[in-house]
Amino acid sequence: MLKSRLIPLAALVAALSSAPVLAQGSTAMHRVDIGSAMVSTGGEFTSATSGSQLAPGSRVMLTEGSQATLVYPNGCTQPLTTAGVHSVPATCVAAAGPGGSSAGAPAADLGGAAIISGVAVVGAAALEAMDDEPYVEPPPVSR
């Protein structure tokens, strides 16, 4: 009876451990580092202030000499250093160099590990539950 309760519990643990990973790329905070920036969420561009939350697909326009940074909830940062219009990606695409921080990369790896661990626990519980009933050989068939 205890083993039959393990399967739903393991499934619940797996679902809850994967939720932060799925929600990880929901919004990014916009930080104006140098100069000025404008943002658009599908309409006209408006003046941007540091600390505003931007949804994936929003656009950031930088003027010449301006710089901004997108800061994701997992701590990963994506610098915007060139003039022009930049789209806000759903997940952080950190620069591979001195300009970017990949601090959020291990958090994503840990989230994936949590999902895999949850699936392994559910599988182990399912296999263990199969052994609840001992095999009983059926009686011989009489003709």
Cβ 17 vs Cβ 118: under 8 Å = yes
The per-residue pLDDT for range 76-130, each reduced to its tens digit, is 888 988 889 998 888 887 655 444 444 444 444 566 677 788 888 888 877 777 6
**Domain for residue 96, yes or no?**
yes
Check residue 116 and give its pLDDT: 82
**d(C-alpha 115, C-alpha 18), whole Å:** 6
Is 99 part of a structural domain of the chain?
A: yes
138 within some domain: no
In a domain, 103, yes or no: yes
Asked whether the whole model's pTM tops 0.85, one would answer no
**Helix (H), strand (E) at residue 33:** strand 28-34
Domain containing 102: what range? 2-129
Q: Residue 83 in 3-state DSSP?
A: coil
pLDDT at 6: 58
Binning pLDDT at 50, 70 and 90, where does residue 22 land?
very low
Strands 37-40 and 84-87: unpaired
Overall domain count for the chain: 1
